[in-house]
Amino acid sequence: MKNLGIYRLIALSLFLALGLVTGELIGQNVTVTGSVFDADSQEPLIGVTIVETGTTNGTTTDFDGRYSLSVSPGAELTFSYIGYESQVVALEGRSIIDVNLSISATALNEVVVVGYGSMEKNNVTGAITTIKVEDLEKVPVPNAVEGLRGQVAGLRVSRTNGQPGSGITFRIRGTNSLGA
């Protein structure tokens, strides 16, 4: 009787150990590193967003244009940067991926923020803030929306959480001005 209990304990231990090993093999990720450069000047690009396509797993490049990201083995990476063409690159077994991003042929138009609707510029008597494309291009951010942060008085731009690709919240003269 005691031997039967020992055999059950050994069988259970082996079963659990096999499950742990199998789980680790299935869930293995690959760490991808590399650099992102401007295709024309070969200067490193700061703040490029790199996201595992179809997920919210991502990172941004550092001051030298370098990045490191842990992804699933068959992943595709999407590289995006304001004013540049986005690029999707398949991993294909590589662990080092360097990318050259080209400047977008379609330039951004001027962004005009009007807090109370849309009107023709010559009919507006209130405050309007205009941000030129040149001003947005100088700010190292992953998209144009985040480039508005700090550029417009009374506008608060924030992410709903810290993950790349997560939603963005705008507050215009909202909670920041309640006590003013």
pLDDT tens by residue, 14-36: 666 665 555 445 558 899 999 99
pTM of the model: 0.51
DSSP string, 160-173: SSSSTT--EEEEES
37 has a pLDDT exceeding 80: yes
H/E stretch holding 8: helix 2-26
pLDDT at res. 69: 94
pLDDT at res. 23: 47
Residue whose entry in the numeric block shows the structure tokens 């490193």: 44
Last residue of a domain, one of 71, 101, 131: 101
d(CA 13, CA 101): 52
Within a domain: 34: yes
pLDDT at res. 169: 80
Task: Looking at the structure, tell me whether residues 131 and 81 fall in a common domain.
Answer: no
Within a domain: 37: yes
2 has a pLDDT exceeding 90: no
Structural domain of 74: 30-101
* Amino acid, res. 119: M
Task: Looking at the structure, tell me whether residues 63 and 85 fall in a common domain.
Answer: yes
d(CA 4, CA 19): 23
- Please state the domain count of the chain: 2
